[in-house]
Amino acid sequence: MSIIHTENLTKTYDSGAVKVHALNDVSIDIAPGEFTAIVGPSGSGKTTLLNIIGGLDTPSSGRIVIDGTDITRLSDGQMIDFRLNNIGFVFQSYNLIPVLTARENVEFIMLMQKWDKKKRETRATEMLQSVGLGDQIDRRPSQLSGGQQQRVAVARALASGPKFVLADEPTANLDSASTSNLLDIMANLNAQLGTTFVFSTHDQRVIDRARRVITLEDGKILSDETR
């Protein structure tokens, strides 16, 4: 059974007198445990597709079913709750809260989910250890390198046990060593926890690691290769 099912997704933006088709009849199925990269040139629709799967944007037509729930039928409030409890996000710009420590940043989603204080502290510490930052838990983002900040973001995305993680250009601001380290960590977590990862990327290093590569061009699926 698919954990992510998109059916005939279309997204059209009105740009004055011109309509821009960001997505055009995109249907995909992603199974639990996949390590998938959605790739394509700038403007191909990959970020739009990721945002729609994550409930951050809505399609003009079509539907998205996440683990049996048709999220296109949810109200705004229901979508916020669904996103909080089911989807982990890793963004290009890290999106860490500057005044919080690494552990407090990882705890943040669990705090919103009303986890017990002791339980979320323990879980956040475990997740930071799993990404190699067990000795950095009390540092704030400004005291961490870009690669370390992105590892905190990965720990935060995984801490509450989401159904899958969406990573939008997660290596764009990282050097080669940090990228390799981050991808090793994600691949290991995917293998150990069975967590589904879906990347939007143009980084060949990410593409080389993916077990499935879905290529978009002009909002349409050009190819879908499983290795």
Task: Give the CATH number of the domain where residue 175 resides.
Answer: 3.40.50.300
**Is 18 within the bounds of a domain?**
yes
- Provide the pLDDT for residue 111: 95
**Is 190 within the bounds of a domain?**
yes
List all residues 6 or more positions away from 37 whose beta carbon is below 8 Å from its beta carbon.
198, 199, 200, 201, 206, 207, 209, 210, 212, 213, 214
- Provide the pLDDT for residue 92: 87
- Provide the pLDDT for residue 1: 81
- Cβ-contact 147, 175 below 8 angstroms: yes
For residues 26 and 12, what is the distance between their CA atoms, to the nearest angstrom? 13
pLDDT tens digit sequence for 45-73: 999 999 999 999 999 999 999 999 999 99
**Is 122 within the bounds of a domain?**
no
Do strands 35-39 and 4-15 pair parallel, antiparallel, or not at all (unpaired)? unpaired
**Is 145 within the bounds of a domain?**
no
**Is 128 within the bounds of a domain?**
no
- Provide the pLDDT for residue 14: 83
- Provide the pLDDT for residue 159: 92
Left (φ > 0), alpha (ψ -120 to 50) or beta: where does 186 sit?
Answer: alpha
Q: Return the closest-CA partner of residue 32 out of 69, 60, 64, 4.
A: 4
Q: What is the pTM of this model?
A: 0.92
Boundaries of domain holding 208: 4-94+154-226
**Is 49 within the bounds of a domain?**
yes
For residues 186 and 172, what is the distance between their CA atoms, to the nearest angstrom? 15
Q: Which residues of the chain have pLDDT under 70?
A: none
Domain total in the chain: 1
- Provide the pLDDT for residue 210: 95
- What are the start-end ranges of the E strands in the chain? 4-15, 18-30, 35-39, 61-66, 69-70, 87-90, 164-168, 196-201, 212-217, 220-226
- Provide the pLDDT for residue 146: 93
- Cβ-contact 189, 132 below 8 angstroms: no
